């Protein structure tokens, strides 16, 4: 039996790709998508780490950090600006004997203003054919979701529920919500603390997986406020048996 894959998304706020992957080594991930890493390693799309420079100060990176997965970069089509803040790849999961065990499409997104949810939708729609063709995963910092106010949950940010609907139309559901059996707007685990203030907590980092595989999500964990202190975001780790 093939072990579940561990997928991690983390807006690390700063630092080199190698340093932030070292920070996450304690989670023993297979695939990591980093946002806001230093751009000094944002090089051409090749090797075990696919990187993209977003601006002079920030980059994004999708890395295969175990020998269980192989990444093949997919160039993003021109979709009105979102392409520079996303990375698309074909992921091949390998069995212990080196044979292919499973394959899926993966899109990592770091949403940008002015309309964060719309930015994610544009990135996803640019790859809609890939999601329809087979299993697909989209994860990252959507900058869209719910502010977690104790005892008085606030409505999701503008456009977020439409984003969830659009992803649902492609057969995708949030791994966090499927595993914890909560609706959007009812999250209890913050993924982001605005201006690093624990009193201003949000759930805006996601991993969406095929609805057909939701029952095979074996764990969803969010790093606590004491973890990964270099960032105002917390890493989200999803275990899923995709093989």
Torsion of CA 242, 61, 43, 76, to 10 degrees: 70
Pick the CATH number of 5-240 from 1.10.443.10, 3.60.10.10, 3.20.20.120, 3.40.50.1000: 3.60.10.10
pLDDT digits (tens, 9 = 90+) for 12-29: 999 989 889 989 999 999
Q: Is the pLDDT of residue 239 over 90?
A: yes
Judge whether residue 80 has pLDDT over 50.
no
pLDDT at 43: 52
Do 203 and 174 meet the contact criterion of CB atoms below 8 Å apart? no
Task: Count CB atoms within 10 A of the CB of residue 215.
Answer: 10
Instruction: Tell me, yes or no, if the pTM score tops 0.95.
Output: no
Mean pLDDT calculated for residue range 197-218: 95
Mean pLDDT of the chain: 88
Q: Would you say residue 227 has pLDDT above 60?
A: no
How far apart, in whole angstroms, are the C-alpha atoms of residue 68 and residue 76?
25
Rounded Cα distance, 97 and 89, in Å: 23
Q: Quote the pLDDT of residue 7.
A: 97
Please tell me the predicted confidence (pLDDT) of residue 48.
Answer: 83
Residue partners of 217: CB distance under 8 A and separation at least 6: 175, 178, 179, 209, 238, 239, 240
For 47-56, 105-114, 181-190, which range has the lowest pLDDT when averaged over its residues? 47-56
pLDDT at 1 exceeding the cut of 50: yes
């Amino acid at each position: 039996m093939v072990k579940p894959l561990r997928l991690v998304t983390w807006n690390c706020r700063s630092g080199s790709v190698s340093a932030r992957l070292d920070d996450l080594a304690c989670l023993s991930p297979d695939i990591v998508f980093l946002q806001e890493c230093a751009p000094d390693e944002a090089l051409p799309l090749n090797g075990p780490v696919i990187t993209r420079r977003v601006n002079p100060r920030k980059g994004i990176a999708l890395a295969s950090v175990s020998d269980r997965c192989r990444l093949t970069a997919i160039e993003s089509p021109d979709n009105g600006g979102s392409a520079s803040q996303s990375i698309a790849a074909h992921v091949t999961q390998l069995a212990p004997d080196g044979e292919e065990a499973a394959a899926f499409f993966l899109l990592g997104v770091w949403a940008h203003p002015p309309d964060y949810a719309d930015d994610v939708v544009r990135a996803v729609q640019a790859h809609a054919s890939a999601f329809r063709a087979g299993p697909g995963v989209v994860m990252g910092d959507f900058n869209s979701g719910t502010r977690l106010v104790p005892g008085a949950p606030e409505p999701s940010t503008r456009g977020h529920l439409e984003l969830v609907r659009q992803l649902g139309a492609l057969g995708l559901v949030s791994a966090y919500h499927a595993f914890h059996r909560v609706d959007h707007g009812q999250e209890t685990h913050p993924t982001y603390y605005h201006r690093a203030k624990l009193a201003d907590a949000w759930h805006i980092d996601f991993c969406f997986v095929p609805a057909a595989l939701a029952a095979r999500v074996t764990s969803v964990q969010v790093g606590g406020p004491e973890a990964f202190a270099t960032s105002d975001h917390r890493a989200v780790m999803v275990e899923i048996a995709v093989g």
